[in-house]
Structure 1
Amino acid sequence: MVGMGSPSAATMAARDGGTAPRTPDCARLVAEHPWDTTSLGPMESWDPVVRATVEVVLSSPVPMALAYGDDYLLLYNDAYAEVIGPKHPGALGRPAADVFGDLWQAPGVGGVIDDVYRSGQSFLEAEAQVAVPRDGQVEQASFTRGHSVVRDRHGSVVGVLTVAAETTQVTRRLQSLGELTARLASTLTIDDVARVVLAYAMASFDVDHCVFAVDDGAGFRYVRRIRGEMVDEVDERLPPLWKRIGNDPAFPLAVAAQSGRPSFLPDGSPLAKVATDRHERRIRALAAMPLRTPSLHGALTMGYRSAHTWLPAERALLYAAAELVAQAAERARRFEAQHGTAQLLQRSMLPEHLPELDRFRIAARYDVGVDGNAAGGDFYDAFELGDGRLAMVLGDVAGHDVRAAAVMGQVRAALRALALTDPAPQTVLAGLDRLVGSLGAESRNEEIFVTVVYGVLDQADGTITLGSAGHPPPVLRRAGQGRASAQLVAVPPGAPLGLGGSWRTTTVRLEPGDTILMFSDGVVERRGRPLSAGLDDLVRAAAAAASGDPRNLCALATAAVAGRTDDDVAVLAVERAVAQSRSATMQVPAEPTGPSRVRQWMTTRLREWAVPEPVIGAAILCTSELTTNALLHAGTPAQVHIDLSAERLLVSVADTGTRGSVTRARTETLSSRGRGLGLIEELSDTWGTDPTVRGSTVWFEMLIPQAEKG
């Protein structure tokens, strides 16, 4: 319709590096049109001003249209013809109302032209939403339109000239800037910020190359996205793959970050000196925006493979986006520092290694709550006593701060000392009760709330003597004959520590294949749900588990109850093995040959143990992926541990990357790139990740088919 406009097909084709398609030749069509049958009359009799106006319209690269006479006869140029699409060329020389039908009567369409024509007053529409046919569909586009009257040589109004400029892209970028603000507000880590920024740049500016960088020691670390790169839902769940560069002035991002000044290159070879692949060598236009805050220096660069003029409006959007990104990155860096300190404190108070026993397998897991920025009071421990029995405990100090973590550390240390002297649950709980009461009195705070479930396992017969100080009872999973079951252990309830209570005990026996699971209340408590519902969910999940393997049960327990918890989560599981398992461990050096050494070592061991070949092949493939991932992302040697029992093969790969940096942590997702996650999920029966004091462990379990046990 009159006043619409869009980028020309030639412009878009040039942007993509292709050949411009042939555009409508409106000048020829105007010359050939039978104007003598219209209100304009033969061309040779046209008013000189009208003729001059038509010549301006036809020669302009901007969408322009002339609505002539009382019936608004249409004359327009090639750019306008592209906008109206299939209505061209039939619209040429016809009344606008006939061309656009009912749409002409819509608000802001024909009425605007009529008002200008009748009043003789020009009118500027700052922004109008117009339906535009494109690629066989109709989409809403934004336009700025100027309407002015056309007078003949006698000064009479004979028509309305409309000049249109499409602002759809600018409008959408402004909208996406609002969306960027909202998404950045929910980011916690630098990884989160990087994902949001790269997605924003690719979608909003349609760039071919984007880099987000932040300072890292004497240099910078950066992550990039390029046009055509395969990014799916799996990739978005994984930490970005960061690379590092020094403070090299050949890098535009380093110059922008250090100087604090943006740069805009419309055409050239900005990355020629530092290009690492053909994608960077092809970049011709580049904008480098500094990201500067009191505690962070970085840069955001966007590039195109073709020449690109950085218009003032586009630069203004980039300035605004860079400011938002810089503030979000600074917040994320502060969070990471606080989070890392809190979690390093938390995990340093937990046992770094659990006992390795002949007939019992032990596993534990600790997950931070929603507020991962604070230390908590959940704790677990398991250690051998002097007479060969095993002491095991899981407790919870109320609170999510350094004080709660400090109390937790004192309670855990005191429990060890008490248990090594006299491990009887009544004695240990009584001693802890006196300690907590003393701590409360010293701090003049009577609100120290500590719960504990503590047990002593006799490895000779599998009996466990349990006592509870206000803590949820453990879950006992019975392997049974072909079908597992689970139930809560009926531990006599006792008062929380520090209240001067008394405690009774109960005894349960683990038969071969049985597992006992201790847990903190964060596992089962959810807002708006009764505690009994959460306990029921946990019991059902334990009964339905594919095996009683303690590591598997710990992973299942943390996800057994639907919904999020604000609390930390700690679980400890002990399984009595059906038969003594066979295990082996390999230290893998941080070098390219590491994965191949692991494959050869595992093949030899598993074949010696008569593991079925299909299981061997799948296990080696998964282990190779995990080892590669550990060496790549942690940058430290890895440890591969295999444990084979009669019913399952358990493989774990541990790295020793620092836990103080959230950007290096992989506690929630498997960080192997591309196919790794899919392989583990497809080939294993279950898998998970476990954080440790000085790294993280990724593990998977494969069940041994009953008919093929070795």
Structure 2
Amino acid sequence: MSGSGASPTPPVWASTSDGWDPGLLAVVDLVLGSPVAMAFLHGDRLRLIYNDAYGQLLGERHPDAYGAPAAEAFGAAWDGPAGAAVRETLHTGFAPRDTELPSTADDEPDPALPTRGLSAVRDGSGRIAGVLIVAVEPVPVAHRLQGLTELAEALAGTLTLDEVARVALRYGLSSPDVQQVAFGVDDGDDWRVVRRVRGDVLDDADERLPPVWRRIPADSVAPLSVAAGAGLARFTADGHPLREAAQDRHDEKVRALAALPLRTPSLRGALTVGRHDQHPWSAAERALLTAAGKLVAQAAERARRFENQHGTAQLLQRSMLPENLPDDPRFRLAARYDPGVDGNAAGGDFYDAFLLPGGRLAAVLGDVAGHDVRAAALMGQVRAALRALALTDSTPTSVLTGLDRLVASLGAEARTDELFVTVAYAVIERDGRLTVATAGHPPPLVRHADGTADYLEVPTGTPLGLGGIRRSAVATLAPGDTLLLFSDGVIERRGLDLGAGLEKLAATVAGAVGGDPRTLCALASAAVGGTTDDDVAVLAVEHATAPSRSAGMEIPAEPTAPGRVRHWMSAQLTAWNVPEQVIGAAVLCASELTTNALLHAGTAARVQVDLSAERLLVAVSDSGTRGAVSRAHAETLSSRGRGLGLIEELSDAWGTDPAVRGSTVWFEIGIRASKGGERGIGVA
């Protein structure tokens, strides 16, 4: 506080600010720096923090009112309509209308306690932590104050830098006079920047897209780069502040610009807000924008920390899973893994498939209890040991017996009996003969070529490390049948009987239009509704009725790549005698996925096509780190509005599979029973 001679040393603020929520700190900075009369009532007793302009309204009560509880600072007025309005705002989160306030003829208005200009203030968790009073409120400033509260609430729900960027850009354009907003953060030696221009045609799908980032050098003369590098705000009232580093005509039109640095201990960046008219930035506007910048900076730092933790956990997880499944003309394989935790921890589910001597195929899926580094490390040890044992003696009972000894030994070494590992392990002969053994794991499911599905009768056995006699079961995987191994995260839900989960899974798999492994993995992972904290893992092996044809193409990260993909796919599918209507749909969908891979992952990609007698499968893989596409939001992947609604309309199934780096989005079109007319093809 300063200016009125008797400004006190703020004992409450000075002694309690350490450890405050960043959002509340931003509100206090706004109050103390604003020329508009403002006060903040906070804490259980609603202690008063205010600026000089508000101190003048308090009159003789200033400076003793600073830090005092509201009931003491306002006296009789606190029991009147204005005090009631503050309490209602605090309890409901909304300021009441004047007509709803109680009134008496004897009430004397208190200029420091108005019935208007009240806003609930929430902390980072969304809890109401106090009430902001604006005693003199120009209408635009009042609207922006409300917007600042909404910004804090929106940022509280963000996890990634993409989400923080979307919220910041939306907030900047909430003022009708603002024409463009840019948000940038440090990225190595350069800056990573995303921009939003008023008038962009955006639908709900675009709002959920990963923002399109671009890089600018650290020594750029762009105001965003200068503000981010120097850590100083700059407000231009009139001129052409973006002309020297203009990206396009939108930048050239900007005359007034506010460039706000975003600074935290581990992040540097900036937020710019531009207008097309001459505009002197008022002190109140500067204070509001500065407060908004502090909120955005704190959220960006939190998001970067989350992304680093998330990336480390996911890289650890993926690195312990097979990067590629075996390529065998007799068996088609697919797997799906969805972490059930918040992404900051590595889980213990694992799967593997590999060829054995004599042309046999081994398939395994296991579950190590826990979601921490120890669980992931144990998972890696079990998977490696299983493969080593299987390559020596692939008999399922022998492999599980050897794993029993390993887990028991690790438990004794760690002096714990809490190592809990379950496994389902199968060996498939060239003719489809199947031998399976499990250790405390759900039974495998077989989807038959005739559209039925049933669970194999396999002795359950005890989890690994507990010993006991291991037994196996023998069955036949006929041509057209598909074997599914899955973790308990697929079928277990809180409040749902395990038997009901197994029934839902079997019914969903039986209802599939075919036995394609990718489709069945996607369907199985979503068969039982509801949320789960457990990981979800599925491995599917189809005994092919006939060998399939495959071809692939590497896609450079260039604007011409989608056109090259369309030309290559048309020629390849025509050479394979694929019906024209299938070619048209497949080429259009592949072009859409290629565009999105290049636009939103920003890396080179690969297109893979696989043609069998029953279906055409197309997969587009990138090596980016932007995350997976949720099937629950099919429309969220879009090259500007069309989204995966197009793929969903033209294909019979689609899905996404995350990998060690990047992800694969795929779709399939049935040849004999696909959308769009008659089909019919034989694969030679």
User: Which TM-score band applies after superposition, normalised by the shorter structure?
Assistant: 0.7 to 0.9
The structure with the larger Rg is 1
CA separation in 1, counterparts of 2:112 and 2:435?
85
1:473 matches 2:439: no
Partner of 1:9: none
CA separation in 1, counterparts of 2:588 and 2:539?
29
SS of the residue corresponding to residue 203 of structure 1 reads: coil
- Give 1:453-472 correspondences, 5 Å limit: 453-460=424-431, 462-472=432-442
Partner of 1:150: none
Partner of 2:476: 509
Partner of 2:627: 665
SS of the residue corresponding to residue 303 of structure 1 reads: strand
- Give 1:265-664 correspondences, 5 Å limit: 265-460=236-431, 462-480=432-450, 484-657=451-624, 661=625, 664=626
Q: Runs in 1 of length 4+ with deviation above 6 angstroms?
A: 121-125, 142-145
CA separation in 1, counterparts of 2:522 and 2:177?
41
| Counterparts in 2 of 1:667 and 1:373: CA distance versus 1, 3 Å | farther
Give deviations 1:576-625, integer Å, cap 9, x for gaps.
Answer: 22222222122233334433332222112211222111110010111122
| Counterparts in 2 of 1:185 and 1:107: CA distance versus 1, 3 Å | closer
Distance apart, 1:502 and its partner CA? 1.9
| Counterparts in 2 of 1:337 and 1:128: CA distance versus 1, 3 Å | closer
Is 1:173–1:205's contact at 8 Å kept on the other side of the alignment? Answer: no
CA separation in 1, counterparts of 2:494 and 2:139?
45
| Counterparts in 2 of 1:239 and 1:405: CA distance versus 1, 3 Å | same
Give deviations 1:191-246, integer Å, cap 9, x for gaps.
Answer: 11111211222225752111111001111011111111122111122211101101
Distance apart, 1:361 and its partner CA? 0.5
Stretch deviating more after TM superposition (536-545 or 323-332): 536-545
Distance apart, 1:679 and its partner CA? 2.2
SS of the residue corresponding to residue 382 of structure 1 reads: strand
SS of the residue corresponding to residue 297 of structure 2 reads: helix
SS of the residue corresponding to residue 191 of structure 2 reads: strand
SS of the residue corresponding to residue 702 of structure 1 reads: strand
Partner of 2:126: none
Is 1:125–1:144's contact at 8 Å kept on the other side of the alignment? Answer: no
CA separation in 2, counterparts of 1:503 and 1:173?
69
CA separation in 2, counterparts of 1:122 and 1:377?
63
Is 1:434–1:498's contact at 8 Å kept on the other side of the alignment? Answer: yes
Give deviations 1:86-106, integer Å, cap 9, x for gaps.
Answer: xxxxxxxxxxxxxxxxxxx95
Is 1:386–1:420's contact at 8 Å kept on the other side of the alignment? Answer: yes
Partner of 1:18: none
CA separation in 1, counterparts of 2:659 and 2:670?
25
CA separation in 2, counterparts of 1:396 and 1:552?
22
Q: Give me the identity figure in percent.
A: 62
Distance apart, 1:127 and its partner CA? 4.9
| Counterparts in 2 of 1:510 and 1:269: CA distance versus 1, 3 Å | same
| Counterparts in 2 of 1:432 and 1:144: CA distance versus 1, 3 Å | closer
Q: Is there any run of 5+ residues in structure 2 with no aligned partner, and where?
A: 1-97, 119-131
| Counterparts in 2 of 1:639 and 1:249: CA distance versus 1, 3 Å | closer
CA separation in 2, counterparts of 1:437 and 1:451?
13
Question: What amino acid does structure 2 have at the position aligned with 1:442?
Answer: E
| Counterparts in 2 of 1:122 and 1:472: CA distance versus 1, 3 Å | closer
CA separation in 1, counterparts of 2:577 and 2:589?
19
Is 2:205–2:643's contact at 8 Å kept on the other side of the alignment? Answer: no
- Give 1:51-200 correspondences, 5 Å limit: 126-128=114-116, 167-200=138-171
CA separation in 2, counterparts of 1:319 and 1:144?
17
Is 1:143–1:168's contact at 8 Å kept on the other side of the alignment? Answer: no
Corresponding residue pairs, total: 563
| Counterparts in 2 of 1:175 and 1:508: CA distance versus 1, 3 Å | farther
| Counterparts in 2 of 1:189 and 1:129: CA distance versus 1, 3 Å | closer
CA separation in 2, counterparts of 1:184 and 1:419?
51
Is 1:284–1:303's contact at 8 Å kept on the other side of the alignment? Answer: yes
Distance apart, 1:681 and its partner CA? 2.1
SS of the residue corresponding to residue 247 of structure 1 reads: coil
**So what's the TM-score if we normalise by structure 2?**
0.78
Q: Is there any run of 5+ residues in structure 1 with no aligned partner, and where?
A: 1-104, 131-141, 146-164
Distance apart, 1:419 and its partner CA? 0.6
Work out which of the residue numbers 146, 161, 173 in structure 2 matches 1:202: 173
Partner of 1:687: 654
Question: What amino acid does structure 2 have at the position aligned with 1:292?
Answer: R
CA separation in 2, counterparts of 1:685 and 1:266?
56
Give deviations 1:455-474, integer Å, cap 9, x for gaps.
Answer: 001122x1211111001112
| Counterparts in 2 of 1:166 and 1:182: CA distance versus 1, 3 Å | closer
CA separation in 2, counterparts of 1:472 and 1:168?
63
CA separation in 2, counterparts of 1:196 and 1:686?
33
CA separation in 2, counterparts of 1:556 and 1:353?
21
CA RMSD of aligned residues (A): 2.7
